[in-house]
Amino acid sequence: MRSKRDHTFVFWLFLSPVIFAFLMVVVVPFVLGIYYSFTDWSSSPRDGAGVQFVGFLNYAKSFADPTFLYSFCITALYTIVNMAVVNVVAFALALFVTSRIPGRNFFRAGFFVPNLIGGLILGYIWQFIFNSAIPNLGALLGIKAWSDPANLLLAKSVPALFAIVIAGTWQYAGYIMMIYVAAIENVPIELHEAAQIDGAGPLRRLFAITLPMASQAFTITLFLTLVNSFKQFDVNISLTSGGPSTMFMGKAIYGTELLAMNIYNAAFVSNDLAMGQARAVIFFVVLAVIATIQVGANKKKEIEL
């Protein structure tokens, strides 16, 4: 008969590799990061650069910096638009590939493939499409609106933000679609049959049966798209590099610099790693709060069979 203590020992023994990895790559850097955000650490042997404790100075300076405030606004806007577009497109695609059209497995795979392409490469592909392919096609087909340099999507900051939404949707909708496909296929067929006998049309069944039954999927997809949009970095840096510029609070600043890129630029372009770290902490807190609220709200709407 083995004692309980032996079991506990084996339990921790088996857990220890995971705990070690978790501590080393998540907990320690996280704590160190918070510590550095209160210092003037700069990762270079510059004169006078030690690790000095500076209190909340980095936080105060961040909130006084127009580029950071602007990035906050633009990231919120981007997140709302991107969440809406990705989910609507993904759900529409899911309905499409769960209908009885021929070759639906091929379409499922096809819509999913962009998700397997790295965000950086994808950004460059779309940069080429927006900057060269569309204008040249417009010139070829004689469509003036496409070939006019004044209409280049990446030349002005607001259209450029929507260009990131387009590229982001193209990349992510297929992935979200797969979650919806699973949810839609899990809806019991009897419900649909019963509703059909009662004379409900396809649209009525979509709103009265499919959507409520798929609400668990919505909790997941909304959470994923929220976090993913908020953390958008790779498509941002390759597609627009944060540009083009715009005017904000009387200063010319980068117009599509989302939060993650703003943090990166604060750390590496401005050579202020501690400042970047402070912004990353703010970023974490905001994202954690919003995501918790979102999951809580969605959970209430879920239906248990």
Q: Which residues bind other proteins (CB under 8 A)?
A: 43-47, 67, 130-132, 135, 149-150, 152, 154-156, 237-238, 240-247, 250-254, 265, 268-271, 273
Torsion angle of alpha carbons 284, 289, 291, 294, nearest 10°?
A: -170
What letter represents residue 141's amino acid? L
Please say which residue, 73 or 208, places its beta carbon nearer to other proteins: 73
Cα 100 to Cα 75, 167, 282, distances in angstroms: 39, 29, 47
Q: What is the largest CA-CA distance in the chain?
A: 85
Please say which residue, 151 or 215, places its beta carbon nearer to other proteins: 151
Please say which residue, 114 or 159, places its beta carbon nearer to other proteins: 159
Query: CB 301 → other proteins: shortest distance, Å?
Result: 41
Q: Return the ∠ at Cα 74 (arms to 253 and 61), rounded to 5°.
A: 60
- Residue 192: both structure tokens together: 């649909």
Cβ atoms within 10 Å, residue 128 = 11
Which residue in the block uniquely carries the two structure tokens 């009662």? 198
What is the chain's percent helix, strand, coil content, to nearest 5?
75, 5, 20
| Residue 38 contacts residue 62 (beta carbons within 8 Å) | no
Please say which residue, 226 or 266, places its beta carbon nearer to other proteins: 266
Query: CB 60 → other proteins: shortest distance, Å?
Result: 18
Query: CB 219 → other proteins: shortest distance, Å?
Result: 35
- Residue 261: both structure tokens together: 């890129």
Query: CB 210 → other proteins: shortest distance, Å?
Result: 42
Please say which residue, 132 or 292, places its beta carbon nearer to other proteins: 132
Please say which residue, 143 or 194, places its beta carbon nearer to other proteins: 143
Query: CB 86 → other proteins: shortest distance, Å?
Result: 24
CA distance 280 to 267: 10
Question: Which of 220, 277, 252 lies closest to 62 in space, CA to CA?
Answer: 277
- 244 prior amide bond cis, ω within 30: yes
**R_g over Cα of the chain:** 24
Within 13 A of 189's CA, how many CA atoms are on the CB side?
A: 2
Query: CB 160 → other proteins: shortest distance, Å?
Result: 9
Please say which residue, 97 or 239, places its beta carbon nearer to other proteins: 239
Query: CB 73 → other proteins: shortest distance, Å?
Result: 16
Please say which residue, 155 or 227, places its beta carbon nearer to other proteins: 155
Query: CB 76 → other proteins: shortest distance, Å?
Result: 21
Q: Which residues contact 284 (CB under 8 A, 6 or more apart)?
A: none
